[in-house]
Amino acid sequence: MSKSPPAREALAARLRACVGSQYVIEDAETRRPYECDGLAMYCELPQLVVLPGDVAQVQAVMRICHACGVPVVARGHGTGLCAGAMPHPEGIVLSLARLSAILAIDPEARTARVQPGVRNLAISEAVAEYGLYYGPDPSSQIACSIGGNVAENSGGVHCLKYGLTVHNILKLEVISVEGEKLDIGSEGLDSGGMDLLALFTGSEGLLGVITEITVRLLPVPERARVVMAGFDTIQAAGDAVGGIIAQGIIPAGLEMMDSHAIVAAEAFAQAGYPVAAKALLLCEVDGTDAEVQEHSTRIETLFRQFGATSIRTSRNEAERALLWKGRKSAFPAVGRISPDYYCMDGTIPRSQLARVLTEIDRMATEYGLRVVNVFHAGDGNLHPLILFDANVAGEFERAEAFGGRILELCVAVGGCITGEHGVGIEKIRQMPVQFSPEELAQLEAVKQAFDPQATLNPGKGIPLLKRCQEYRTLEGHAHG
């Protein structure tokens, strides 16, 4: 039988004694900013927000909540895009924003130990003096936390060559639901036993609370260059993506944008994008001067062979940064042309790019909504942005249904329902599309092994019954 949570006032008093009065947020107005993450369509006010200042305080908070049966939703900087950090109405939000120190840098081992509230970009800034950087670079890297990156297994524009978060971390310090401190992984190249590091990476706060991460660092390449090409059709651009990979060239980044994204990004960033093109590719190569020269020349030739209508190659670091600025500004750029947008995240085989984008365009007409497509073409990670107006009756519901159809399409062509944003609340209804009942039962068994009472981020990720409680459906949540 589950425990009955204590009254909010009694719980707040215990937590204040643990972390200090100023770090327990009780009033509704101050709790409001924590009601959602970056996917603001799903909102819920937590009972309390708690901001511990060190690992011992995190442990103490977890022990109190475990003893009282209080749900805990860990939160980084709130930039997630799957409602994974949406609060539970009967639980607390455990904000890790104050755990924001870079604890140690080892230039010789090319590692850094950091707390979960450290911004992604801050790691690279801190190690730049050693000629090093941290590889995964989500579009939100200026703001997103490394703890959140681990929870969602984030990628970024350079994940094709340098991998996702799971490929760039060595060790985690995790606090269990009972408040026990666990070390997972090691600073060596391998560790004995099962690979729990990979299990926790992308676990979306369902298994434990991350309090420290040891990341791998990479040497800054001697040279990097971006080749930008415009195409008259999505098909031609998609074929060019396959052509590059077939040549054995592994770009540092290979991004595609459709005509709507090109126009929006150019108006916002003024990066010199070909606004008349139907599709745009940004292909970055890095390495030694000789490698970059050879590969960029081959890529230019390939783009011409696949019918590129325009080609521009960055001549210096400033031009390279400007070309990437347009791509990384695509989401805020779209925010200027629509009151609201719904950012999807699915992955497909590269060979299916043209087919899937054509079908998305057809479905946009069916639902009467506009779509802007921005995605990591190299690894087939799509980010369709569905434009809508939440103030117009029915548009949110159509956008949500349209998004679900896109994810189901990804699975139908051999892909999956998420590439880097996670499942959270947003994609929970599509989990049975990708996984069989038996597979979902195995995921639930893993969850139960770490969290038998299901108090860690409940209702997220796994759409199964848990004892006598049914996970809440999306229809039960408020949306903006």
pLDDT at 97: 97
pTM of the model: 0.92
Non-local (6+) Cβ contacts of 134 within 8 A are: 112, 120, 123, 124, 127, 168, 215, 216, 217, 218
pLDDT at 464: 67
Among 36, 43, 37, 34, CA closest to 478: 43
DSSP assignments along 379-402, one per residue: GTEEEEEEEE-TTSTTHHHHHHHH
- Residue 285: burial class (beta carbons within 10 Å; 0-12, 13-18, 19+): buried
Q: What are phi and psi of 225, to 5 degrees?
A: -145, 140
Please report, for residues 173, 196, 455, the alpha-carbon distance to residue 182 in angstroms, rounded to integers and kept in the order given. Answer: 6, 11, 18
Contact between 24 and 46 under an 8 Å Cβ cutoff? The reply is no
Biggest distance spanned by C-alpha atoms of the chain: 70
Which H helix or E strand runs over 212? Answer: strand 209-216
Among 179, 300, 204, 192, CA closest to 243: 300
Q: Which domains does the chain have, with CATH numbers?
A: 8-95 (3.30.43.10), 102-219 (3.30.465.10), 223-331 (3.30.70.2190), 338-426 (3.30.70.2740), 430-476 (no CATH)
C-alpha to C-alpha distance for 123 and 66, rounded to whole angstroms: 33
pLDDT at 27: 96
Among 114, 122, 115, 174, CA closest to 144: 122
C-alpha to C-alpha distance for 124 and 434, rounded to whole angstroms: 36
Q: What are phi and psi of 75, to 5 degrees?
A: -140, 140
Query: What is residue 478's DSSP assignment?
Result: B
Does residue 380 come out as left (phi exceeding 0), alpha (psi in the -120 to 50 range) or beta? left
Q: How confident is the model over 237-256, as pLDDT tens digits?
A: 999 999 999 999 999 999 99
pLDDT at 474: 45
Q: Block means of pLDDT (10 residues each) for the chain, length 480 residues?
A: 72 97 97 95 96 98 97 97 96 98 98 98 98 95 97 93 96 98 89 89 98 98 97 94 92 95 96 97 97 97 98 96 92 92 94 91 96 92 95 96 97 96 96 96 96 96 59 46
Please report, for residues 278, 386, 396, the alpha-carbon distance to residue 372 in angstroms, rounded to integers and kept in the order given. Answer: 12, 7, 16
Pairing state of beta strands 381-388 and 340-343? antiparallel
Contact between 307 and 237 under an 8 Å Cβ cutoff? The reply is no
Among 242, 176, 172, CA closest to 213: 172
Among 220, 122, 201, 109, CA closest to 154: 201
pLDDT at 6: 73
Q: How confident is the model over 359-416, as pLDDT tens digits?
A: 999 999 999 999 999 989 989 999 999 999 999 999 999 999 999 999 999 999 999 9
